């Protein structure tokens, strides 16, 4: 079977979020971590960003959501510059970020509380999203009483309960065992299928990138930039892993990574 052909540039289509020519350094005397990075995320898009450790993948994500400011270039969401965290851009971190002294329900509803949503409405919405993610009955438990996979689903529930326009995920499954990780990958695909929230996923796992992204962005270099964009035509099929096309795409991504880091 022939392998998927790489796409060499990002689509220039109407975008929900657009990053243009981003550069970032952390100290004036240091070289840039990122330089000349551009990305357009449309309403039906799913991206995975892969690259060697330390190349700046998480830094890119923090620039996209407003937790960091670029030194040059800009990020816009619905045409408006992103200069601070945006209420419609939800972030899921690999350490979950749950408050251990609050119940599951209160953790999920926390963002709604900060936004001034009434107790009755935020409780209703939090319970609804917990049921949707298979976590009904955990509302009065505390994060330490849950498994790692359950905690990650609570973090995703907290991100989705505010009805975000965009989801950013920073290696959300990296600390989980292989079986739980694969199960949650299917959960995320199911969430996208039901809610159609576009997302950008940072991951070290090639298989995860191929299963969860319509486009795989290969990031490398010092300073880092996108060195290749790969279209993934099999995305969206929950049985994709069982097909030869999945393994062909994974080989293509691995070869792109090898070229990017100069592997023999």
Gap between the Cα atoms of 230 and 217, Å rounded: 6
Q: What is the pLDDT confidence band of residue 5, given thresholds at 50, 70 and 90? A: very low
Residue 13 confidence (pLDDT): 52
Considering the domain boundaries, does residue 122 fall inside one? no
Please state which of the ranges 4-8, 15-19, 150-154, 212-216 shows the lowest mean pLDDT.
4-8
Q: Evaluate whether residue 132 is within a structural domain.
A: no
- pTM of this structure: 0.87
CB under 8 Å to 115, separation ≥6 — which residues?
Answer: 87, 162
Other CB atoms closer than 10 Å to residue 40's CB: what's the count?
17
User: What average pLDDT does range 64-72 have in this prediction?
Assistant: 93
Average pLDDT on 162-182 reads 87
54 within a domain of the structure (yes/no):
yes
**Tokens 């709604």, residue located:** 112
pLDDT band with cut points at 50, 70 and 90 for residue 64:
very high
Domain CATH code at residue 53: 3.40.50.300
- Cα dihedral sign, 135-139-140-142: positive
Range of the domain at 222: 16-88+204-263
How many separate domains does the chain show? Answer: 1
Helix, strand, coil share (%) of the chain residues, nearest 5: 35, 20, 40
Is 167 a member of any domain?
no
């Amino acid at each position: 079977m022939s392998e998927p052909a790489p796409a060499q540039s990002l689509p220039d289509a109407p975008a929900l979020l657009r990053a243009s020519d981003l550069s970032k350094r952390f100290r004036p005397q240091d070289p840039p971590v990122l330089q000349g990075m551009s990305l357009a995320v449309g309403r039906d898009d799913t991206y995975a960003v892969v690259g060697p450790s330390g190349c700046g993948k998480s830094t890119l994500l923090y620039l996209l959501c407003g937790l960091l400011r670029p030194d040059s270039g800009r990020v816009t969401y619905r045409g408006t510059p992103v200069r601070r965290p945006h209420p419609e851009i939800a972030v899921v971190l690999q350490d979950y970020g749950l408050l251990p002294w609050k119940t599951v329900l209160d953790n999920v509803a926390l963002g709604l509380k900060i936004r001034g949503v009434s107790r009755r409405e935020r409780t209703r919405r939090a319970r609804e999203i917990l049921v949707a993610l298979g976590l009904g009955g955990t509302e009065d438990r505390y994060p330490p009483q849950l498994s790692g996979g359950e905690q990650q689903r609570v973090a995703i529930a907290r991100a989705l309960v505010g009805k975000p326009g965009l989801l950013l995920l920073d290696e959300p499954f990296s600390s989980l065992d292989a079986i739980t990780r694969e199960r949650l990958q299917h959960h995320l695909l199911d969430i996208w299928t039901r809610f159609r929230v576009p997302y950008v996923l940072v991951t070290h796992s090639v298989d995860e990138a191929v299963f969860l992204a319509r486009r795989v962005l290969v990031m490398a270099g010092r300073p880092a930039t996108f060195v290749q964009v790969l279209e993934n035509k099999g995305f969206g099929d929950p049985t994709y892993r069982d097909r030869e096309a999945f393994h062909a795409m994974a080989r293509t991504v691995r070869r792109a990574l090898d070229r990017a880091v100069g592997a023999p």
